Structures are given as C-alpha cells and as structure tokens.
Amino acid sequence: EAGVVQSPRYKIIEKKQPVAFWCNPISGHNTLYWYLQNLGQGPELLIRYENEEAVDDSQLPKDRFSAERLKGVDSTLKIQPAELGDSAVYLCASSLNGAAGELFFGEGSRLTVL
C-alpha cells in the first residue's frame, strides 16, 4: 500500500513568488491535514479536511495561504506571495475517519525562501 505522497520534496524560491505543494493521501483516508514544521519545532496544524470540507482552518494565514481538496482526494497548499518566514517543512498527513490521532505522514516539502 502506498503511503502519503508529497511533491515537490524541495523548493527554493525568492520572496514574493508563489509556491504550491501537492499531497496525495493514502487511498480510502478521508481526513487530510496540512502541518507546518519550523526548524527545531513540532508540527503545527494549518488545516484539516474531512472529504472536501475544510473543518479546521483556524491556523491558516488566509491572507497569503490557501488550500483546496477537490473531489476529496488530492490536496494542494498554496502560498502567494511567499515571505522569508515561510521557510519551513510542509507536512501532509491522512487518517481514516475517526482514527483518533493515528495520522500517516508524508515525507514533507521543504521550502526555502530567499
């Protein structure tokens, strides 16, 4: 069984440029999460989806960040425009409905903003 797939693994951009990250969750997992992991820190939730619906986006900086999960499968996280402080690892995770915390994580997308 394939795990959570994220791309790209690494991205280097200049500030004010846009960037997008893609996530394909484990087949059958209807809950999808985007986490932000700063260097030396634990992951912090950005947004959580139940199927197509964003059920928790309270930590998503909506002035520059957006996310979508069309058809309740793949998801895209976008930053526009990127700032220096956005340099971090963006983790995607998925779980079965009601999995109570048993999240399966992708390898992450490391963003460097110059």
Partner 1 sequence: AQSVTQPDIHITVSEGASLELRCNYSYGATPYLFWYVQSPGQGLQLLLKYFSGDTLVQGIKGFEAEFKRSQSSFNLRKPSVHWSDAAEYFCAVGARNTDKLIFGTGTRLQVFP
Residues 6+ apart with CB under 8 A from 3: 26, 104, 106
Residue with structure tokens 């520059």? 64
In angstroms, what is the minimal distance from the CB of 80 to partner 1?
25
Q: Is the CB of 24 or the CB of 95 nearer to partner 1? A: 95
Q: Is the CB of 80 or the CB of 96 nearer to partner 1? A: 96
The phi-psi region of residue 67 (left if phi > 0; otherwise alpha if psi is between -120 and 50; otherwise beta) is beta
Q: Is the CB of 80 or the CB of 105 nearer to partner 1? A: 105
In angstroms, what is the minimal distance from the CB of 70 to partner 1?
21
In angstroms, what is the minimal distance from the CB of 96 to partner 1?
9
Q: Is the CB of 77 or the CB of 108 nearer to partner 1? A: 108
Element (H, E) at 49: strand 44-50
In angstroms, what is the minimal distance from the CB of 38 to partner 1?
10
Contacts to partner 1 by CB under 8 A: 3-4, 31, 33, 40-45, 48, 56, 91, 93, 95, 98-108
Residue with structure tokens 């059920």? 55
SS (H, E, C) 25-37: CCCCCCEEEEEEE
